[in-house]
């Protein structure tokens, strides 16, 4: 590496950084093929065992960030308490899942 190169690192530096980040992700993904996808299926199966919901009333959002991936599952559950049906026909179960460094952290809320 010459004096010249030292002061004018070209686009190769950008290439190296982009590759390092990308490959770190892809290697993690291939050792856990579609971890978030599997979690999603299993979470829905567990909820389905206890609560009836319509599959098309399920909103699933997955985001893969640089360091953290998030999974949000929003399920609209029909409310069968006849009396309050008119006022509030549905309940909502929201599950959020953040995944960073292989340690899943969960939070949930029931509305």
List contacts with another protein (CB under 8 A). Answer: 2, 4-5, 8-13, 15-16, 18-20, 22-23, 26-27, 30
Q: 45, exposed or middle or buried, with CB in 10 Å at 0-12, 13-18, 19+?
A: exposed
Helix (H) or strand (E) holding 4: helix 3-7
CB 60 within 8 A of CB 94: no
Q: How far is the CB of 27 from another protein (least distance, A)?
A: 7
Q: How far is the CB of 21 from another protein (least distance, A)?
A: 11
Q: How far is the CB of 35 from another protein (least distance, A)?
A: 16
């Amino acid at each position: 590496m010459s004096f010249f190169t030292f002061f004018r690192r070209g686009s190769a530096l950008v290439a190296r950084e982009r590759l390092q980040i990308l490959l770190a992700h892809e290697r993690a993904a291939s050792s856990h093929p579609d971890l978030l996808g599997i979690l999603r299926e299993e979470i829905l199966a567990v909820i389905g065992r206890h609560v009836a919901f319509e599959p098309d009333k399920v909103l699933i959002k997955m985001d893969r960030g640089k360091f953290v991936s998030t999974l949000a599952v929003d399920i609209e559950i029909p409310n069968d308490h006849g009396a309050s049906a008119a006022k509030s026909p549905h309940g909502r179960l929201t599950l959020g899942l953040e995944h960073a460094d292989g340690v899943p952290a969960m939070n949930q809320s029931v509305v």
